[in-house]
């Protein structure tokens, strides 16, 4: 159980890091949609290799011909497209930490609905006072971690449309719990979490390829930026981080349940969001880690423990 929880935290660490790396890739593609396409494409290639090693029989035409292609084959990948592209739009406008807090809030809201009503064939975990207390403690911790006084702010980016971006963050945050539940259902249809992750990424890649041709009208990009120089190989690993996130969620949800999987992943997102802000990684706005933010991280952890116990 402890190892699974640690694995969930590691998966959460990947999300802000992936967003930051893909944002840098976007400097060269000049389009968040095109950046998302290459991220999904790389993730798909990685998963094809993994499945060739782990599940070669799943890639055979005979296996595919015997499948019932229900909505779970397609929806998870499309939701992943919206979530990733939304994050790429948010991060340069409201910063890493605020992007995390808005998307995390959406994840908590949707996670509660999934648990309460057993949506997408998930196990039902009715809301009770203890679970409400755990969520409130987590939200308080998140606010403490991301509230910034003017003295904390080293680099600032302001936008008159910040509130609209925050609403977009909540909306996109609602998508990962749905995606995880749907991909977990797909796992049982194809009897492999590696193959279900591949399907999710492949559908996302196809959707982004079509969007790139329709909206961006190209899939080529420049490997050289006038200000940032030649593109670094590091900027292409976002897809690999996405593979870790999606595959780990599919693996953990049946073992830990929807709520606990969600919370440990959120905790990982919080930690990486703090680190990115503290160091100003990838030229993001820099915000120092303070005692208040560390207390917030502790409250998030306490909220996870409460949700686990009740």
For 125, phi then psi, to 5°, come to -130, 90
CB 279 within 8 A of CB 21: no
Mean pLDDT of 101-124: 79
Q: For 256-310, how does the pLDDT look when each residue is reduced to its tens digit (9 = 90+)? A: 777 678 778 888 887 887 788 788 777 766 777 788 878 887 887 788 778 767 7
pLDDT tens digit sequence for 7-56: 989 998 998 888 889 888 988 998 889 998 999 999 999 999 999 999 89
Q: Look at 132-136, 174-178, 238-242 and tell me which has the smallest mean pLDDT.
A: 132-136
Q: What is the pLDDT of residue 152?
A: 47
Q: What percent of the chain has pLDDT over 70?
A: 92
253: Cα separation from own chain's centroid: 15
**Is the pLDDT score of 67 beyond 80?**
yes
Residue 155 vs residue 136, higher pLDDT = 136
pLDDT band with cut points at 50, 70 and 90 for residue 154: very low
pLDDT above 60 for 210: yes
Q: Looking at per-residue confidence, does 240 or 98 come out higher?
A: 240
pLDDT of 158: 47
Categorize the per-residue pLDDT at 243 as very low, low, confident or very high, splitting at 50, 70 and 90. Answer: very high
Higher pLDDT, 257 or 171: 171
Q: How confident is the model at residue 149 (pLDDT cuts 50, 70, 90)?
A: low
pLDDT for the residue 147:
63
Q: Judge contact between 58 and 1, C-beta under 8 A.
A: no
Confidence (pLDDT) at 157: 44
Which of these, 180, 190, 149, 152, lies nearest to 54 by C-alpha position? 190
Tell me what pLDDT residue 298 has: 85
**Residues recorded for the chain:** 310
So what's the pLDDT on residue 101? 75
Report how far apart, in Å, the C-alpha atoms of 163 and of each of 45, 153, 177, 275, 286 are. 37, 19, 23, 24, 21
**CA 248 – CA 149 distance, rounded (Å):** 36
Q: Do 202 and 59 meet the contact criterion of CB atoms below 8 Å apart?
A: no
Please check the confidence at residue 159 and state whether its pLDDT lies above 70.
no
Q: What is the mean pLDDT of residues 103-113?
A: 81
pLDDT at residue 160 in the model: 52
Averaged pLDDT, 95-120 = 79
Task: Read off the pLDDT band of 148 (50, 70, 90).
Answer: low
Please tell me the least confidently modeled range out of 65-69, 197-201, 203-207: 65-69
Between residues 43 and 105, which one has the greater pLDDT?
Answer: 43
Residue 192: phi and psi, rounded to 5, are -170, 125
pLDDT for 97 equals 67
């Amino acid at each position: 159980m402890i190892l699974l929880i640690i694995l969930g935290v590691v998966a959460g660490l990947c999300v802000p890091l992936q967003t930051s790396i893909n944002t840098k890739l976007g400097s060269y593609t000049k389009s968040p949609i095109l950046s998302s396409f290459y991220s999904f494409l790389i993730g798909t290639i990685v998963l094809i290799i993994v499945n060739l090693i782990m599940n070669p029989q799943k890639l055979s035409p005979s296996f595919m011909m015997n499948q019932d292609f229900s909505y779970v084959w397609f929806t998870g990948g499309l939701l992943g497209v919206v979530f990733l592209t939304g994050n790429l739009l948010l991060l340069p406008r409201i910063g890493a930490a605020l992007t995390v807090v808005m998307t995390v809030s959406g994840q908590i809201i949707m996670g509660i609905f999934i648990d309460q009503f057993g949506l997408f064939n998930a196990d039902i975990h009715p809301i009770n006072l203890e679970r409400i207390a755990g969520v409130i403690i987590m939200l308080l911790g998140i606010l403490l971690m991301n509230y910034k006084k003017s003295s904390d702010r080293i680099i600032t980016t302001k936008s008159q449309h910040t509130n609209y971006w925050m609403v977009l963050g909540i909306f996109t945050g609602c998508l990962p719990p749905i995606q995880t539940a749907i991909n977990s259902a797909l796992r049982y249809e194809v009897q492999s979490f590696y193959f279900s992750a591949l399907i999710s990424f492949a559908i996302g890649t196809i959707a982004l390829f079509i969007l790139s041709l329709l909206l961006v009208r190209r899939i080529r990009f420049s490997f050289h930026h006038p200000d940032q120089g030649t593109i670094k190989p590091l900027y292409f690993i976002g897809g690999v981080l996405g593979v870790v996130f999606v595959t780990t969620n599919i693996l953990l949800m049946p073992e830990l349940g929807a709520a606990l999987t969600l919370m440990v992943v959120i905790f990982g997102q919080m930690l990486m969001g703090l680190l990115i802000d503290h160091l100003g990684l990838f030229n993001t706005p820099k915000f120092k880690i303070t005692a208040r933010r560390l207390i917030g991280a502790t409250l998030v952890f306490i909220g996870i423990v409460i949700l686990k116990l009740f």
